[in-house]
Amino acid sequence: MIRQIVRSPLTVMFILAVFMGLLGLGAAAPEFFEEYDRIILTVTAVIGVGFFLLVMIHNRRHPSSKISMATWTPYEFKEEDEGLKWITLQACRKVYMFYYYAIPAAALVIFFFGDRRFVPFAALFLMGAIQYFIFWREERKYSRGQDVDEDEEF
Amino acid sequence: MANLTEGIADEVRINIKERILAMLENRVRELRARFRMSQSDLAEKVGITRQTVGLIEKGDYSPSVVLALKLAKVFGTTVEEVFWLRDQSGEKGEGND
């Protein structure tokens, strides 16, 4: 369960949604700004520590399949065998296609509305959230229906 | 000379057509049933994940030559007995005839 949470693209999507909510709150309530930096730092620290604790708990419970803390490979990448690598490749391809259009679009938005402090951050967080959604959707497309066969015996 | 050129062109056209239309079919599921194995059992024997067995059975993923050989070995048969090409007209192509 912990492994699924840590490795799911939806987890990162949720975290990005939290930050987008905070940005929205900051934009909607300017009086909130004085506390803003502290709140952002606190939320970041809570999420970071929570993530670290989850990995620690998982590694203690499952010493044979530890999640590495020191890796450059994103946790959502599944590369246990060639089939899973292929799924990851398909998902990365879709994400690349998304960024192919999203980056120029975001550049235009920032060019025209960048004078507002939160616009560049909102653009980044939104692109990140969409990236993880696309990755999750693509993974799910190829994994759909496989749980049914989990205990299938002939 | 003109006939030779036309012949080569025809062959190239056929090869391209085959490459576009050919689809990899397999009987992994059928063989797995015959050997009374679950997806997990087969995955363990071959050294892959259950998800990959599912992908291959559904025809979403065409396995590497190495994996195809390993699967055939588990079933005690040849690769051609497990995998073959089928064109879109539904006719069986190369292998397993």
Contacts of A142 in chain B (CB under 8 A): 51, 55, 60-61
Q: What percent of chain A lies above the pLDDT cut of 90?
A: 34
Nearest CA to CA, how far is B33 from chain A (Å)?
5
pTM to 2 decimals?
0.75
Nearest CA to CA, how far is B9 from chain A (Å)?
34
The contacts of residue B22 (CB under 8 Å, 6+ apart) are B85, B86, B87, B93
Residue with the bigger pLDDT between B94 and A77: it is A77
Q: What percent of chain B lies above the pLDDT cut of 90?
A: 61
For the cut 80, the answer to whether the pLDDT of residue B92 exceeds it is no
Tokens of B2: 């003109």
pLDDT of residue A35: 75
**Please, which residues bridge with residue B84 across strands?**
B25
Mean pLDDT across the stretch B19-41?
A: 86
- Using a 10 angstrom Cβ sphere, with 0-12 exposed, 13-18 middle and 19 or more buried, the burial of residue A120 is middle
What region does B6 belong to: left with phi over 0, alpha with psi -120 to 50, or beta?
alpha
Average pLDDT of chain B is: 81
Q: What percent of chain A lies above the pLDDT cut of 70?
A: 92
For the cut 70, the answer to whether the pLDDT of residue B20 exceeds it is no
Tokens of B47: 């050294």
How many other CB atoms sit within 10 Å of the CB of residue B27?
A: 17
